[in-house]
Amino acid sequence: MTLDELWEKLTQPNYMIAYVAVIVLVMIAVIVIIMTNERRFNTTIRKLNEESREVLEQKKEEEQGLNRTSRFSMLNLYDEETNTADTKSFDENISLRDFCEEFRMFAAGKLGLYYDISVIREFVAGLAVSHILILQGMSGTGKTSLAYAFGEFIANPSVIIPVQPMWKERTDLLGYYNEFTRRFNETLLLEKMYEANKQSGEMYITILDELNIARVEYYFAEFLSLLEIPNPEARYLEVVSDKWPNDPNGLQNGKIKLPENMWFVGTANNDDSTFAISDKVYDRAMVLNIDRKSEPFQASGVRTVSIGVRRFTDLAAKAIQEYTISPVTLEKLKKLDEYLIEHFQITFGNRIMRQIYSYLPVYVSCGGTELDALDDIMAKKVLRKLETRNTAYIRSESGELCGFLDELFGEDTMKRCKEYVGRIAQNI
């Protein structure tokens, strides 16, 4: 069949009708496919919108749930369980002398801990002068036990915070907010500070055990600075940087007040595993040297004495008024200051002088003598600075310094100062 014949056959009316039918069917199929795909697309978009809305609603519900439970679980639990301030009764009649004697008897009779009465007086007088105490000496002499026993004695147990070698900042003490769990990791210290602010009438003792296993001036820096502020109502530490609706009511804009009724007692060992304590810390703290164990003795009249903050501060203030440093002692102190400046270029400084003006009267009120108190604080706070001076010069001048102390105060006095100078000269 030729091409002309084939063309003539294909162009016949029957074939043309078939062509049109096929084209119509193809168009109908295309339209059906397009409509089906569009319906599927719209269904997919609707499902995505619904899923997105569900996710947003779920997230909103989670946030509302978090706001209901709050990020501070332990602090909120304390608020729920304690609705009112403390109504604890305190001993309002005891004197500082009796307080020291009874504390010594309690430690011995109840806990089997024996301390010389001078150590007890130094500890109690130190609490009256500063909110930071450092107990240093050989291991096993009862440093931690002394602070622990005090908490038991006043019927408000001390909290022990073991310092860790890697501590460097405030969050190591207070805790931190975990972005993943959306909760604040609360520490024992944060809980105790919160409690102390609520129970403002009680004395709280926090023990920083082995405080110099890390650098104190790093992790405790903000505490040291705040304690220098004269107004206790202005001492606030930042816990979190923002505020949530259901944060504990004891926090103010994410900050906690440094409790005026809390004392920090650090125990320190001086060996190769610890860091040297800086002058910044030593100058602000009261220091106790516990170098030896005391002999056991028979304890009698063992009892706890619940003393409140107001009573304790009133006793300290009363002591400062009644046992003002004598003019004779002040004159001798002035001469000693002039001697130390001339021969060793060290001086007391205003902070140490304020501590002396408080420490001596309170120590006397605790049952000690004025010169014993001066001997103690001079050895720990002033003569300690001799360790940073030229070694050969200190050795050559140590005898003359001890002679000057004898001339100024008498040969049977200032024994700790002379022992300290002698020990420095021998160890250099």
pLDDT digits (tens, 9 = 90+) for 351-404: 999 999 999 999 999 999 999 999 999 999 999 888 888 878 888 899 999 999
Q: Tell me what pLDDT residue 27 has.
A: 79
Phi, psi for residue 398 in degrees, rounded to 5: -65, -40
Q: Tell me what pLDDT residue 270 has.
A: 76
Q: Tell me what pLDDT residue 202 has.
A: 95
HSE of 141, CA atoms in CB hemisphere, 13 A:
18
Q: How confident is the model at residue 423 (pLDDT cuts 50, 70, 90)?
A: confident
**Whose CA is closest to 332, among 385, 410, 386?**
410
Query: Is the per-residue pLDDT at 115 higher than 90?
Result: yes
Average pLDDT score over residue span 138-154: 92
More confident residue, 106 or 23: 106
- The domain locations on the chain are 3-68, 70-289, 323-427
Q: Tell me what pLDDT residue 90 has.
A: 86
Q: How confident is the model at residue 110 (pLDDT cuts 50, 70, 90)?
A: very high
Query: Is the per-residue pLDDT at 428 higher than 60?
Result: no
- Mean pLDDT, the chain, integer: 88
Give 87-91's long-range contacts (Cβ < 8 A, gap of 24+): 88/199, 88/201, 88/202, 88/306, 88/308, 89/306, 90/201, 90/306, 90/307, 90/308, 90/310, 90/311, 91/305, 91/306, 91/307, 91/311
Tell me the per-residue pLDDT of 13-37, one tens digit each, with 9 for 90 and over: 666 676 667 777 777 777 767 777 6
Q: Tell me what pLDDT residue 146 has.
A: 97
Tell me the per-residue pLDDT of 403-422, one tens digit each, with 9 for 90 and over: 999 999 999 899 999 999 98
Q: Tell me what pLDDT residue 388 has.
A: 81
Cα three-residue angle 7-9-13, rounded to 5 degrees: 110
Q: How confident is the model at residue 101 (pLDDT cuts 50, 70, 90)?
A: very high
More confident residue, 59 or 34: 34
Q: Tell me what pLDDT residue 10 has.
A: 56
More confident residue, 47 or 382: 382
Average pLDDT score over residue span 130-156: 93
**What is the percent of the chain with per-residue pLDDT over 90, rounded to a whole number?**
64
Collapsing DSSP states into helix, strand and coil, what is residue 205?
strand
Q: Tell me what pLDDT residue 3 has.
A: 61
Q: Tell me what pLDDT residue 339 has.
A: 95
- Do residues 141 and 99 touch, judged by C-beta distance below 8 A? no
Task: Compute how many other C-beta atoms are within 10 angstroms of the C-beta atom of residue 73.
Answer: 13
More confident residue, 102 or 390: 102
Look at 68-82, 204-218, 310-324, 399-413 and tell me which has the smallest mean pLDDT. 68-82
Query: Is the per-residue pLDDT at 85 higher than 90?
Result: no
The CATH number for 70-289, chosen from 1.10.390.10, 3.40.50.2300, 3.40.50.300, 2.40.50.140, is 3.40.50.300
Say how far apart CA 288 and CA 148 lie, in whole Å: 15
Query: Is the per-residue pLDDT at 255 higher than 90?
Result: yes
More confident residue, 16 or 280: 280
Tell me the per-residue pLDDT of 196-249, one tens digit each, with 9 for 90 and over: 999 999 999 999 999 999 999 999 999 999 999 999 999 999 999 999 988 999
Query: Is the per-residue pLDDT at 84 higher than 70?
Result: no
Q: What is the CA radius of gyration of the chain?
A: 38
HSE of 43, CA atoms in CB hemisphere, 13 A:
6
Average pLDDT score over residue span 78-106: 86
Longest distance between any two alpha carbons in the chain, whole Å: 148
**What is the percent of the chain with per-residue pLDDT over 70, rounded to a whole number?**
86
Query: Is the per-residue pLDDT at 1 higher than 70?
Result: no
* Composition of the chain by helix, strand, coil, percent to 5: 60, 10, 30
Average pLDDT score over residue span 165-194: 94
